[in-house]
Structure 1
Amino acid sequence: MTAIHVMLWFDTEDYITHEAEDALLGLLTMLNSRKIKGIFKIVGEKARKLERNTRADILKQLMPHEIGYHTNFHSLHPTVSEYSEKFGFAEGAQEFEWREREGLDDVTRITGMTSKCYGQPGYSWAPQSFPALRKWGIPVYLDVHDQITLDNKPFWYGGMLNLTDIKGIMRMELTKNGLQEGIREFDRMYDMLMQENGGFISIYYHPCEFACTGFWDGVNYNHGQNTPRDQWQPAPLRQAGEMEAYIEMLGSFLDYTLSKPNVAYITSEEALHMEKSNRTALEASDVRALAAATSHDLTYQVYNGYSLSASDLHSLFCKYLLGEDLVPELIYGPEHEVESDRSVNVDVSAIIKAISVEYPRVLAYKQLPDYFTVAGFRINPVDLTCTLASIISKELNDVDRVEMIAGALKPKMHARTDECWGPKWSPFPQDLKVPNLVRQSQLQTWTLKPAIF
């Protein structure tokens, strides 16, 4: 039985250097000769460039592979992080959809395939992208990023399966000794994962790096620079024959990986289908057990095959008290973190009335309000959810009095707090700081939970 699942993905982005197209074709030809499926995350402008250059040969070779989306213009300023920093969560989701939808539509139209995954350009991540991607039907976030981490394992965040900070991320470097070093690294990861009864290895490249010694955006978009289209410069090229040699070297590396027992290459869609979290309705007894396990520390729970985020639990507790079907529902985190009024003691009926209101929306999806109004008092969603759990576990009635519990959203610890992103990616302005994105990434850990494989 296959135990090691390898995802091989290519950020297909250089829409300036012509030789990057030859590298893309060479990689596709090499993969197709081995019947290995790759994952090609394509920039909108790159797809349009292939269309303008009538590269039907490349588009035909792409057909057996999985397509992902990689934004409309990649490094053109303002990048995703730069423009998203200026917006709240709901407005930022609308802005992402407005700026990036054109590229997705063009990738779909030109390749004839729908995108199954998304990954950010470089380090240019933003929590506001998730509702838009989910609305577009993109279920998987596949890339390398460490703003949200969960023990180096796959996780759910923002309603998407995230394969961004897993233990098995690697690559064979395109250097003289790259093959030998890549084999040693693969063997190390293989042995480690086999001891853990299997897992994922994520291998990533850019087609352009097989043709070039530097990156196209480093030439045209470095440190906030926006080179006009009529002044774009290609990336520096490798010497004659190097591109072909490195593509052949990658082929040899892939051959080696497949010589190991229990290894298979999969797509992000196949990884999604392997995820086994239960999504059916729970019994009332299950919700009571979940409530009993919730104290003043509100966090995700893995229970009887269910993986439930804090917002899933909030939805279940509300549905239990409102007499609705007990199906977990993802609700996005609030726009702001506010303090609750303190020393609040009210009837349970007042709390039930408070949770009966219409929730705000992010695009088409529910979002938690910054606070609920309970008998005239402001109560934040964390405190309210912890109090709901107490009401359910104690089996209180409408007329019973309850004191609001002061809670804490524990999954926030899985969001990094470093707001200085300028040095993390060369196209960023070197002094770029993103305190708003960091704050919002913490608030959206309401949606964080482990993936179950």
Structure 2
Amino acid sequence: MANVHVMLWFDTEDYITKESEEALLAVVQLLNNRNIKGIFKIVGEKARKLERNNRQDIIEQLAHHEIGYHTDWHSVHPTVSEYLESYGFADGAAEYALRERMGLEDVTRITGQSSRCYGQAGYSWAPQTFPVLRSWGIPVYLDVHDQITLDHQPFWYGGLLNLTDMKGIMRMDLREDGLEEGMAVFDRLYDELSLEDQDGFISIYYHPCEFACTGFWDGVNYNKGHNTPRDQWQPAPLRPAGEMERYIDMLGKFIDHTRTKSNADYIGAMEAYEMEKSNRKPLQASDIRAIAAGISNELNYTIFRDYSLSASELHSVFCRYLLGQDLIPELIYGPENETQSDPAEPVRVADIKQAISGQYPGLLDDKQLPDYFIVAEYRINPVDLTCTLASVIANGNGDEDRIEIMTGAVLKSKEHARTDEYWGPQWSPFPPDLKVPNLIRQSQLQTWTLKPALF
């Protein structure tokens, strides 16, 4: 029977409705009374509001829990997806870091804790955030989002462990019959996950403001692309007296039910990260030859024994093999653009080795694949080149051997990125006609970093 790990997380974001602070305090106290670790992803302005309101009582109670980051201003326009739509990957990462660093620093300063996870505001996801989060030491992306999905299992993408589109995502609805239905859903997920081959995760999410309000604060002030001026902010509609307490109590009963399962435990995002068991040691030369032999004109992630390797990690170890370097898989971000390779005559293996020995573009603390490599006088895109590297290794070609460049190869991992660019209806604060073709394109290019997580 597999273990089932429960993550209970709260997007802590309403910095307008005063009553949301009492709901946050009640949730934290509920968890503390049960010795349950919660995950509180906090908006920068929410942390600053708690500080301005001298809510040291809440801040002190949060010390027992894991802190995550949830953007600086959440729904203020332009949101993350809106402003990053006009940027490439590297310059978008720089823009995101510029706009969001202060929020992260304020959450850290006010809570006294480093953020261990991140989740986007609403549906406002963007691939350019990943290298920045990684450079900030945030190892886990925890939320609900379906732009990138891998069979509803945890996965690596952009250098982060992603817990975003899993079979076990659920919530107990805050309504009169919510408890019975919520317990039934939890039991079903628990039974299914217990029968799987590796540890499973149930991800349960709320917003503390939900317990105090019947609607969301951003729906009142930032709906459909509108920015309400600060001096005209309106609070969210409140629940009737006594209803918040009733639903807090119902959450407690739901948690008590989940704890009756013998092999289920509550964990934080960092604990999930530490449980991931992909082998990170150097591979053997024989391993590289075996992996290369299995690649033709399609490039995808690979599970090899206890290694999980993304397409960019395969590229890195193939290059290292041919250059006589340690065979350590290296994260390399996908290129800025998808290009076609030049038609090429056969080239020497030595020309290929010269092409891959050059310096790659830098991206914060990591590297990025170029749009193309120059092999002899030909421009060859990274997919074609990587599949060609595999062929060279599998066939044991020497430096003076002339080989055909494998053109027309396919990055198979792109199939795990959705292609629907019409995001307006996905989240009420978005402008209704919002389209994000650039984010879609960038998300596909970054599937170079996609691979399953192993537990």
| Shared fold per TM-score greater than 0.5 | yes
1:2 offset after TM fit, Å?
7.2
**CA displacement at 1:410 relative to structure 2:** 0.2
The equivalences for 1:167-182 within 5 A come to 167-182=167-182
Q: Deviations over 1:34-91 (max 9, x none)?
A: 0000000000000000000000000011001000000000000000000010100000
- Where 1:366 maps in the other structure, the secondary structure is strand
Q: Distance in 2 between matches of 1:88 and 1:433?
A: 16
2:433 is matched with which residue?
A: 431
**Residue type at the aligned position of 1:142:** L
1:372-387 map, 5 Å: 372-387=373-388
Alignment correspondent of 1:146:
146
User: In 2, Cα distance between the equivalents of 1:369 and 1:274?
Assistant: 33
Whether the 8 Å CA contact 1:331–1:365 is kept in 2: the answer is yes
Q: Which amino acid aligns with 2:174?
A: L
- AA aligned to 1:377 is Y
Q: Which amino acid aligns with 2:400?
A: V
Distance 1:195 1:150 in 2: 19
Question: Who is 2:122 aligned against?
Answer: 122
Conserved in 1, the CA contact under 8 Å of 2:2 and 2:195? no
Range moving further from structure 2, 361-370 or 162-171: 361-370
What does 1:155-166 align with in structure 2 at a 5 Å threshold? 155-166=155-166
CA distance in 2, matches of 1:218, 1:366: 39
Aligned pair 1:93/2:93, yes or no? yes
Q: Corresponding residue for 1:446?
A: 448
The offset of 1:345, in angstroms, is 1.2
Contact preservation (8 Å) 1:24, 1:207: yes
| Paired residue secondary structure (1:77) | coil
Q: In the TM superposition, what is the alpha-carbon distance from 1:344 to its structure 2 partner? A: 3.1
1:403 aligns with 404
Over 3 Å off, 4+ runs: none
- Kindly state the Cα deviation for residue 14 of structure 1 after the two structures are TM-superposed: 0.2
1:391 match: secondary structure: helix
AA in 1 matched with 2:184: R
Residue by residue, what CA displacement relative to the aligned partner does 1:119-175 show, whole Å, maximum 9, x if unpaired?
Answer: 000000000000000000000000000000000000000000000000000000000
Query: Would you say how many aligned residue pairs link Structure 1 and Structure 2?
Result: 453
CA contact (8 A) 2:333 2:369 kept: yes
Deviation at 1:261, TM superposition (A): 2.0
Q: For residue 398 of structure 1, what is the amino acid of its counterpart?
A: D
Query: How far 1:343 sits from its partner (Å)?
Result: 3.8
Aligned partner of residue 341 in structure 2, secondary structure: coil
Q: Aligned partners of 1:4, 1:372: CA distance in 2, in Å?
A: 45
Give the TM-score normalised by the residue count of structure 1: 0.99
How far apart are the structure 1 equivalents of 2:182 and 2:76? Answer: 32
Shift of 1:200: 0.4
Give the secondary structure class of the aligned counterpart of 1:413.
helix
Deviation at 1:333, TM superposition (A): 0.1
Using the alignment, how far apart are the partners of 1:302 and 1:2 within structure 2? Answer: 20
3-state SS of paired residue (2:231): helix
Task: Give the conservation status (yes or no) of the 8 Å contact 1:69–1:104.
Answer: yes
Q: How does 1:300-311 map to 2 (within 5 A)?
A: 300-311=301-312
1:261: which partner in 2? Answer: 262
Q: What per-residue deviation string (whole Å, max 9, x for no partner) do you get for residues 290-325 of structure 1?
A: 111111111111112110000000000001111111
1:42 counterpart residue number = 42
Alignment correspondent of 1:247: 248
Contact residue 345 and residue 401 of structure 1 kept, 8 A: yes
Q: Please tell me whether the aligned partners of residues 2 and 193 of structure 2 are also in contact (alpha carbons under 8 angstroms).
A: no
- Summarize the alignment of residues 304-383 of structure 1 with structure 2, pairs less than 5 Å apart: 304-383=305-384
Q: Deviation of residue 394 (structure 1)?
A: 0.6
Question: In structure 2, how many angstroms separate the alpha carbons of the residues matched to 1:43 and 1:294?
Answer: 44
The root-mean-square deviation of aligned C-alpha atoms, in Å, is: 0.8
| In structure 1, C-alpha distance between the alignment counterparts of 2:189 and 2:357, rounded to whole Å | 50
What amino acid sits opposite 2:178 in the alignment?
Answer: G
Q: How many Å separate the matches in 2 of 1:237 and 1:344?
A: 71
In 2, Cα distance between equivalents of 1:429 and 1:214: 19
Match of residue 12 from structure 1: 12
Partner of residue 28, structure 2: 28
Give, as a single letter, the amino acid of the residue that structure 2 aligns with 1:169.
I
Q: Which amino acid aligns with 2:220?
A: V
Where in structure 2 are there 5+ consecutive unaligned residues? Answer: none
**Is the contact made by 1:183 and 1:256 (CA closer than 8 Å) also made in structure 2?**
yes
* SS in structure 1 of the partner of residue 190 of structure 2: helix
- On the 8 A contact 1:224/1:429 being kept in 2, the answer is yes
Residue of structure 2 in register with 1:80 after alignment:
80
Can you list the C-alpha shifts for 1:100-126, whole angstroms capped at 9, x where unaligned? 000000000000000000000000000
CA distance, structure 1, for counterparts of residue 159 and residue 190 of structure 2: 30
Corresponding position of 1:292: 293
Letter matched to residue 89 of structure 2: F
**Deviations, residues 243-280 of structure 1 (Å, cap 9, x unaligned):** 11100100000000001221110000000111000001
- C-alpha contact 1:156 1:447 (8 A) present in aligned 2: yes
SS at match of 2:336: coil
Listed one character per residue, the Cα deviations across residues 303-361 of structure 1 (whole Å, up to 9, x for unaligned) are: 12110000000000001111111100000000000000124311111111111111112
Q: What letter matches 1:351 in structure 2?
A: I
In the alignment, the residues of structure 2 paired with residue 358 and residue 417 of structure 1 have an alpha-carbon distance, to the nearest angstrom, of: 32
* Contact kept in structure 2, 1:220 and 1:232, CA below 8 Å: yes
Taking the aligned partners of 1:437 and 1:119, their CA distance within structure 2 comes to 17
Structure 2 counterpart of 1:317, one-letter code: F
Separation in 2 of the partners of 1:90 and 1:362? 6
Alignment TM-score, normalising by the size of structure 2: 0.99
Paired with 1:94 and 1:46, the residues of 2 have a C-alpha distance of 24
Superposed CA offset, 1:186-243 (max 9, x none): 1111111112154100000000000000000000000000011111110000000111
Partner-residue secondary structure (3-state), 1:259: coil
CA distance in 1 between counterparts of 2:66 and 2:365 reads 27
Q: Quick one: distance in 1 between partners of 2:209 and 2:335? A: 40
Inter-partner Cα distance in structure 2 for 1:344 and 1:60: 68
Instruction: Mark the runs of 5 or more structure 1 residues left unpaired by the alignment.
Output: none
Letter in 1 for 2:91: E
Verify the 8 A CA contact 1:2 1:263 in the aligned structure 2: no
What SS class does the counterpart of residue 179 from structure 1 fall into?
A: helix
